[in-house]
Structure 1
Amino acid sequence: MSNPHLDRPDLSAVERTLMERGGQADRYAPREKIRTLVVEHFPMLGKVTALRFLEWAQRNPDWSVALPTGKTPEHFIKWTQRILRDWDRAEVRRILETHGLDPARKPDLSRLHFIQIDDFYPIHGWQQNSFFHYVNRFYLGGFGFDPKKALLIDPDKIGLDPGEDLDQVWPEGQVDLSLRTRAPRTALQRRQQRLLAEVDEFCYRYEERIRELGGVGFFLGGIGPDGHIGFNVRGSDHLSTTRLCETNYETQAAAASDLGGIEISSARLVITIGLGTITWCPETTALVIAAGEAKAAIVQRAIESEPSNQVPASVLHKLDNACFYVTKGAARLLTERRHHQLETPETWDDTTQRSLVIDAALNAGCSLAQTGHEQIERLRSGSLLLERLERPVVEACDGAASFLKESLNRALATPCGETFLHTAPHHDDIMLGYLPYLAQFVQDPANSHRFQYLTSGFNAVTNGFMVDRCNWASALLRNPEWRAGAQAYLAPDRREHREAEVQMFLDALGAEDATGAARSAVGARLLACVAEIYGEPDPEALEHRIDALRHYFLTTYPGKKDEPEVQKLKGMLREWEAEVLWGHLGFGLDTIHHARLGFYKGDIFTEEPEINRDVLPVLEEIRRVQPSVVTVAFDPEGSGPDTHYKVMQAVAAALRLYRDETGRNDIRIWGYRNVWYRFHPAEADLVVPVSLGQMAELHRLFLDSFASQREASFPSYEHQGPFSELARQIQVEQYRQIRTLLGESFLRRHPDPRVRAARGFLFVRVMELDEFFEKTRELKKSIE
């Protein structure tokens, strides 16, 4: 097919410049089936994608573009806006010239036709968490696309009669797709059947209009955990067109944060352009962006596997102008690319050698003691490893085994005389990351501990959860005895009462009185928080305020950004949960610091940390504690929630300042990972045995302490249930790795009963400050 909007891959100066600068080929045969560009980190991913888009727009001023929603395009949006805004400034002109763009030809995006890729259904277009709202805010408003030339999906405008509302036709947001084929039984079902037909007709016309534009000229998308692009989930036909359809669990879990919980996202359908829509024009430029190690497995499948409906993104293999833009972490499992990197001597170190030896053993399913030339040669880079080894294979395998045994021995040697500052982005991160290890020495008086929670975590609290707590608070207000002493109880200086609430709650758990005293303790804390936030310690005023809050939580659509007072209230209940957790282990409020860093505001894109607002509170705590060990959720590429990544940057910046002012270089960093991503065994400096009893205790403590997370409204795409269950699953998976590598007899005959009892393992990475700083970028470079 001939198309006037022609953009061949060999004409992309941006990709050519970046690949030449990084010493990369556009693909590494025979395994890579599509061009791939690897960049250093997440912000750089946004920058190069913005440059490639603007390069395409210079050459195709009148075609069509389809751009993604959600958190993935954060830096793409920021960089595109910055470049367009500052096009004529010397700094931006240098960037343009360096990457092969013509500074004299600023693209006029108003000439392009914007195509919305997808949206949930049913959802009101005016909701802040609808994709219709997103594209209007960030693309039509932020980029300057002409709304008259835009193809948009506004569910409020599809098939409804004048004055009719989506909520009237679809009560509770439930759409019954069986009405496409079965006879309706009620008047409401007859109306629903007609509206379904209207939605299907809209999808057909939408597809037709895209083709009239010559197809999608430029497509940019993220990739879901099942390989989906758009909402084309695993199993989607590669010839699929725009349609109303269901999603799968992985997609529902990924969308839960957008919609206010998986209870909502699992009930929603989606309208999405199809895989056939994206690839209809063979000259389409299609980019997929992915960041972080958590995406590595699906990125590998999408790039290396043959086209299959089980990997929807593999449909892009047919497009000459398609390319994956990924960070180093996301590219970690690309076989040929990794082999090429290993051919460069400077990329070779002890960790690399150790990981290859371990991979050879795990791939063969044998212990390191049984691993030899045959098992190593099965690896793509096995022959390279054998060439580089400066000692016999048996010694290399023994060395890897010794490393793991030393890591295990370090974990068995209980820390003594240490001063710990445990930091966490969210309130359950420490628990999920390393609590079974911490529990072994946290109560030893030879060590001291301070726990610093860096965000208030209000995004993880549902409105339904808050309604229950409001009801408990109302019941307490109706209690004459409590009401009589309320004013003294709610006085501004109430630290004693806060401690008493935690103890009352724990006493109730011990007495198995979860519906009586435990609810009273939670209700009392909620009333105290409301009194503090709204300045209303009077019981009568509190009663009215609780009624107003209950109404707010019942009537506000899930996923809406809350007003600041409500955010603070939700966050304070998350803070209460952390206090309950450490209360289980005998720690009082004097050991817990809630930093509530200001970058965490509940926006779609979390702000970058700032020195005064976000780094100094961490620095003050470091000064106060003077730690010998600081624990950090170690996420250099944003593999998990972006809050983890940005909190890590703030902690690193604070530690830099502290070292500069004190000269201390002896602080050790314990990098931990929880349910979002894993360490490779070769990276683990502490291999911690976890018994079945410890797993059970972790689960019990999680359910007892983190009630807001008990129902798993915001779960991982890997597990349908609370995070404590997923943590156990990961520990068991890591146990199987260690059992394979060291041999079952090693574990069963180990002299330490903790190892013999192990049915799980935790991995922790220990770093000196210089190594930690090397893995984290300075804040001022975070968007450069």
Structure 2
Amino acid sequence: MKNNYTQRDITYKTAGQFEETRFEKIHNEIFDNSVEASKIVAWEIAELIRTKQKEKKNCVLGLATGSSPIKVYEELVRMHKEENLSFSNVITFNLDEYYPMSRDNKQSYHFFMHQHLFNHIDIHPDNINIPNGTIPFDEINQYCIDYEMKIKNAGGLDFQLLGIGRTGHVGFNEPGSHINSGTRIITLDHITRVDASSDFNGLENVPKRAITMGVSTIMRSKRIVLLAWGQNKAEIIKRTIQGEISSDIPATFLQNHPNATFVLDKSAASLLTRFETPWLVGECIWTKELRSKAIVWLCETTGKPVLKLTDRDYNNNGMSDLLAQEGSAYDLNIKMFNQLQHTITGWPGGKPNHDDSHRPERANPAKKRVIIFSPHPDDDVISMGGTFNRLIKQGHEVHVVYQTSGNIAVTDAEALKFAEVCNDFVGEDNSKINFQNVIDFLNNKNENQIDSLDVRKLKGLIRRRESYAAVRYFGLNNENVHFLDLPFYETGYVKKNPPTEVDVNLVSEIISKIKPHQIFAAGDLADPHGTHEVCLNVIFAALKQLKSKPYMKDCWLWLYRGAWHEWDIHEIDMAVPLSPDEVLAKRHSILFHQSQKDKVMFQGNDLREFWVRAEDRNKNTAKLYNQLGLAEYEAIEAFKKFEY
């Protein structure tokens, strides 16, 4: 089946053709999601390969690794298998490789490229060039010179695919890299190593150096496409596209490339001025959501609460057309204040026998059946522990559903401790898990070795029992706790399998069994490892299956965010205030997840423990509400209603 993409879909304007705003200095294309965008980029690469074939020329591609290009490679493989796209004339040069790093190491970029692309296409092995992470150190300089000459002798790079790191690196050209830099060995920035630490099971295992193509090597490419997906990349994308050229952010050098395009999803582009504050760029269509966003921004900019904003404040900050449309600052302010006020409720399941016309949740039925979906076995209490507790105390039938086992987030040391205790207590003959085998395995585990089935079982049980303890603290009965152990997660690796109908059906079955009036689910798509996004998409697919069922007409979906990110104030549809005692109760429930305390396996770039992140985030939300002129609360948990 051929794609329906047209030349218009992939014709990116060159820098000279791009009508730059006063903010943006690099041409960029924004897509709804990374899958759609990746297919378009793959199509452009395929067209280039075919054009070169007609001209009987080689096509020289510069390739990147990391999560960003994976869908591009998947589409190229599909086109090879289904559309006879041949790579017989393709020569590739990869951007970088960790040093030292053996080719057969599962974290090597040599392994990555063969896993995702080269093993599945007809490229000649001699045409594959990836920096060698095993070159003796005293031979690296000459090796790098030879790598540069090989690119030059191939005719230069026709197309360079790039990702971008949070430091602004392209390849491994870290901050401080010069525009004239060539292929070389480089010391990795601490942030880059932190971001890679989950793949290496800890920062201490991440190599400190890498071999990388230089900035000048990349800049000589005839065509450059940089990919960026997700909220985590939004800040560096804004600084790269809108900031000044600086070696502090090497990606900004691309502003001077005559044929470079940034391909972004909406989340990665979200902080660009035309999306973040479009009223500063030009006239806007003032939807309710945009109006709310603008007024909250205006309060933050002026340092005023909503009810103190003046006509001059609106006029001086690019919002005169909104003011003209609404009539006066007074009218705008009152509408916004009431809107914010109506999001606040101490009754997340609805307040029985009360007027609900200005409340976020329905009064009826007074006692609701509630499902709280938790991607990992601690997201429920981290993200909405206070609301969870409140729902139980207010008499609702609450069920918590843990979608994955979370076993890979348990350290080997933690698992070994439990195995030794269990072995001392029950002995191997009376246990479903052979704990001595677990102990032997963990004591002799090799680098990058996948956990044995017994080890994974044990790590899953550790998280399961922590979850029981955490919700039991709120008074939830064990029979209302459900573990799905969705199969997509159970790989033993950080990298997961794509979800299947089996995953969707498991979620669908639990919804059908409980027939909820409320579903709470993790909408935290900034999770750096993607499990939250997969779990949410599985829920969406299940809801689509069940939408025609009569009981689903009474079911509302509320999205919470977790340890990584919070809803912006203008996005919040329900704000649940927490008292100091409720904040403390939430902390205690989180601390039952002892395996996730102190040394967290997948902490991302935030070094605070999860309970600290949760408290700080909830207290900050309360502070923002107060600064807008609302009542002062100790903390607030926030939710967004989603129409499915």
Question: Secondary structure of the residue that 1:158 maps to in structure 2?
Answer: coil
Where in structure 2 are the equivalents of 1:595-634 lying within 5 Å? 595-602=484-491, 606-611=496-501, 613-634=502-523
Task: Determine if the alignment matches structure 1 residue 332 to structure 2 residue 207.
Answer: no
Post-superposition Cα deviations, 1:206-264, rounded to whole Å, max 9, x if no partner, equal: 34433444444322222222322222334433433333333334322321221112332
Seen in structure 2, the aligned counterparts of structure 1 residues 412 and 428 have a Cα distance that, compared at 3 Å, is closer
Distance 1:209 1:587, change over 3 A: same
Are 1:237 and 2:174 counterparts?
Answer: no
Find the aligned partners of 1:695 and 1:118 in 2 and give their Cα distance. Answer: 46
Answering whether residue 246 of structure 2 is matched by residue 269 of structure 1, we say no
Partner AA of 2:567 in structure 1: F
**Structure 1 residue 406 corresponds to structure 2 residue 346:** no
- Counterparts of 1:759-778 in structure 2, within 5 Å, are 760-767=635-642, 771=643, 773=644
Corresponding residue for 2:329?
Answer: 393
Q: Which amino acid aligns with 2:416?
A: V
**SS of alignment partner, residue 117 of structure 2:** helix
Distance 1:340 1:397, change over 3 A: closer
Q: Please say if residues 458 and 571 of structure 1, whose CA atoms lie closer than 8 Å, have aligned partners that are also in contact.
A: yes
Q: Could you say what secondary structure the match of 1:660 adopts?
A: coil
1:589-614 deviations in whole A, cap 9, x for unaligned? 31111111122243675333322x01
Aligned to 1:449: 398
Measured at CA, do residues 141 and 353 of structure 1 come closer, stay the same or move farther in structure 2, by a change above 3 Å? same
Measure how far apart 1:332 and its partner are. 1.9
Shift of 1:629: 0.6
1:423 aligns with 2:373: yes
Pairwise CA distance, 1:666? 1.4
Contact kept, 8 Å, 2:528 with 2:604, in 1: the verdict is no
Residue pair 1:36, 1:324 contacting (<8 A) in 2 also: yes
Contact 1:470 1:549 in 2 (8 A): yes
CA shift in 2, pair 1:651/1:548, >3 Å: same
Determine which structure has greater relative contact order: mean sequence separation of CA pairs < 8 Å that are 6+ residues apart, divided by chain length.
1
Tell me by how many angstroms 1:649 deviates: 1.6
- Return the alpha-carbon distance in structure 2 between the equivalents of residues 199 and 428 of structure 1: 46
> Is the counterpart of residue 319 in structure 1 residue 250 in structure 2?
no
Is 1:737 aligned with 2:624? yes
Identify if the C-alpha distance between structure 1 residues 116 and 565 changes in structure 2 by more than 3 Å, giving closer, same or farther: farther
Q: How does 1:252-651 map to 2 (within 5 A)?
A: 252-265=193-206, 268-279=208-219, 281=220, 283-336=221-274, 339=278, 348-377=286-315, 379=317, 382-387=319-324, 389-409=325-345, 417-444=367-394, 446-477=395-426, 490=430, 527-528=431-432, 530=433, 542=434, 546-602=435-491, 606-611=496-501, 613-635=502-524, 640-651=528-539
2:59 maps to 1:73: no
Instruction: Note the alpha carbon deviations across 1:42-62, whole angstroms, 9 max, x for none.
Output: 211221121122233334552
**How far 1:682 moved relative to its partner?**
0.7
C-alpha distance after superposition, 1:97-124 (max 9, x if no partner) = xxxxxxxxx5x42322212222333333
| Aligned mates of 2:486, 2:339 — CA distance in 1 | 38
Structure with bigger helix share is 1
2:355 is aligned to none
Matched with 2:89 is 111
Q: Which residue of the partner structure matches residue 29 of structure 1? A: 21
State the distance in 2 between where 1:368 and 1:474 align.
Answer: 62
Determine the structure 2 residue equivalent to 1:158. 135
Alpha-carbon distance in structure 1 between the residues aligned to 2:211 and 2:582 = 45
3-state secondary structure, aligned to 2:554: coil
Instruction: Give the residue type in structure 1 aligned to 2:211.
Output: I
Is the CA contact (8 Å cut-off) linking 1:629 and 1:668 kept in structure 2? yes
* 1:664 equivalent in structure 2: 552
1:140 alignment partner in structure 2: 118
Residues 560 and 639, structure 2, Cα contact 8 Å, conserved in 1: yes
Which residue type is aligned with residue 83 of structure 1?
Answer: M
What's 2:363 paired with?
none
Distance 2:120 2:91 in 1: 15
Match of 1:778 in 2: none
Give the Cα–Cα distance (whole angstroms) in 2 for the partners of residues 204 and 699 of structure 1: 56
Letter in 2 for 1:721: R
CA distance in 2, matches of 1:554, 1:409: 52
Instruction: Give the Cα–Cα distance (whole angstroms) in 2 for the partners of residues 34 and 663 of structure 1.
Output: 50
Residues 659 and 336 (structure 1), Cα distance of their counterparts in 2 relative to 1, 3 Å cut: closer
Q: 1:306 to 1:411 in 2, by over 3 A?
A: farther
CA contact (8 A) 1:464 1:554 kept: no
Answer whether contact 1:28 1:337 (CA < 8 A) is retained.
no
* 1:69 aligned partner, one-letter code: T
Rounded to whole Å, the distance in 2 between the matches of 1:692 and 1:330 is: 36
Extract unaligned runs of 5+ from structure 2.
352-365
* Whole-Å separation in 1 of the counterparts to 2:402 and 2:22: 47
Partner of 2:362: none
State the distance in 2 between where 1:462 and 1:122 align.
25
Alpha-carbon distance change, 568 to 77 in structure 1, aligned in 2, over 3 angstroms: farther
2:361 matched residue in structure 1 = none
Distance verdict in 2 for CA 1:340–1:654, change over 3 Å = same
- AA of the residue aligned to 1:397: N
Deviation at 1:358, TM superposition (A): 0.9
Say what the alpha-carbon RMSD is for the aligned residues. Answer: 3.1
Distance in 2 between the 1:599 and 1:733 partners? 35
Change in 2 beyond 3 A, CA 1:712/1:241: farther
Aligned match of 1:225: 166
Return the alpha-carbon distance in structure 2 between the equivalents of residues 638 and 145 of structure 1: 36
1:317 & 1:14 partners in 2: Cα distance? 27
Amino acid at match of 2:408: N
Q: Counterpart of 1:655?
A: 543
Residues 1:468 and 1:664: Cα distance change in structure 2 (over 3 Å): closer
- Asked whether the 8 Å contact 1:411–1:686 carries over to 2, the reply is no
Contact kept in structure 2, 1:377 and 1:383, CA below 8 Å: yes
Deviation at 1:554, TM superposition (A): 3.4
1:65/1:218 contact within 8 Å kept: yes
Is residue 149 of structure 1 aligned with residue 87 of structure 2?
no
Matched residue count: 617
In structure 1, the residue matched to 2:360 is none
User: Could you tell me the percent identity over the aligned residues?
Assistant: 22
Q: 1:129 to 1:461 in 2, by over 3 A?
A: farther
State the distance in 2 between where 1:110 and 1:83 align.
14
1:553/1:715 Cα in 2 relative to 1: closer, same or farther (>3 Å)?
same
Amino acid at match of 2:332: A
The gaps in structure 1 that reach 5 residues or longer are 1-12, 89-105, 160-195, 478-482, 491-526, 531-541, 749-754, 774-784
Cα shift at 1:643: 1.8
| CA distance 1:392–1:560, change in 2 (3 Å) | farther
Q: Indicate if the aligned counterparts of 1:19 and 1:37 stay in contact, CA closer than 8 A.
A: no
Question: 327-336 or 615-624: which moved more?
Answer: 327-336
Going from structure 1 to structure 2, the CA distance change for 1:227 and 1:383 (only over 3 Å counts) comes to: farther
CA pair 241-469 structure 1, distance change in 2 beyond 3 A = farther
Question: How far, CA to CA, are the matches of 1:141 and 1:405 in structure 2?
Answer: 58
- 2:135 is matched by which residue type in structure 1? I
Measure, in 1, the Cα distance between the counterparts of 2:581 and 2:144: 54
Rounded Cα–Cα distance in structure 2 between residues aligned with 1:127 and 1:37:
35
Give the SS at the match of 1:232.
Answer: coil
- Cα pair distance change 1:336/1:626, threshold 3 Å: closer
Report the equivalent of 2:358.
Answer: none
| TM-fit CA distance, 1:337 | 5.7
Cα distance between partner residues in 1 of 2:576 and 2:230: 25
Q: Distance in 2 between matches of 1:724 and 1:41?
A: 31
